Amino acid sequence: DTAVSQTPKYLVTQMGNDKSIKCEQNLGHDTMYWYKQDSKKFLKIMFSYNNKELIINETVPNRFSPKSPDKAHLNLHINSLELGDSAVYFCASSHRLAGGRLAKNIQYFGAGTRLSVL
Amino acid sequence: DAKTTQPTSMDCAEGRAANLPCNHSTISGNEYVYWYRQIHSQGPQYIIHGLKNNETNEMASLIITEDRKSSTLILPHATLRDTAVYYCIAMYSGGGADGLTFGKGTHLIIQP
């Protein structure tokens, strides 16, 4: 079973359309993320979300919105797609542990969704 | 998160140890050093992390200098499948929902 799965793997669409990318994790994690990797291969955090808070990177346009129906899913909705939205989008998840020397904030990534806006 | 500096690219012969350096001279006392890698066309993969002691797992070893201003990731017996971009990230690991801040990383090329 894939730990963090994203669908679709490839998405080709026209400018102005609205699209969604789905993400599911079966790791029992409580925090999920969306990252964007542009054509120059820079990876940037877009959102991080758990059941208590949504942290938004201030550079993300409000055309992008995360939606979480439950702890195992964090979908990314994009309205009015623009050419500059073409990129690879990665979903990730992590589990926050309290105290001790245990691993914290280790993130597990999906395989990515390659979005092309024409 | 403290800024990190890594070489842009490195080569290593297959079967040899690959040593990837990272400078993080402004790291604060509660920031950990994390290493991730991204193999071409895949999502980033966690490798190892540490605070001040050296760490080892099945993938790699992490050596952190005593002053914590730099660290080295060691892949003991590099294989062709280790060719990837390696990212060193210094960040607080306090359990918050913090996104990772990726820099440009080091493109490690394992030569046959």
- Cα(A41)–Cα(B84) distance, integer angstroms: 12
Distance of CA A70 to the CA centre of its chain: 15
Contact check, Cβ <8 Å, A107/B85: no
Cα nearest neighbour of B91 on chain A: A105
Would you place residue A59 in the very low, low, confident or very high pLDDT band (cuts 50, 70, 90)? confident
Contact check, Cβ <8 Å, B46/A107: yes
At B84 the pLDDT is: 98
Distance from CA of A90 to the nearest CA of B (A): 7
At A102 the pLDDT is: 37
pLDDT, tens digit, for every residue of B35-59?
A: 999 999 899 999 999 999 899 999 9
- Mean pLDDT for chain B? 92
A109 touches chain B (CB under 8 A): yes
Would you place residue A103 in the very low, low, confident or very high pLDDT band (cuts 50, 70, 90)? very low
For residue B25, count other CB atoms closer than 10 A to its CB.
Answer: 13
Cα nearest neighbour of B43 on chain A: A111
Contact check, Cβ <8 Å, B98/A108: no
Contact check, Cβ <8 Å, A96/B96: yes
pLDDT, tens digit, for every residue of A19-50?
A: 999 999 999 888 899 999 998 888 999 988 88
In sequence order, the β-bridge partners of residue A25 are A4
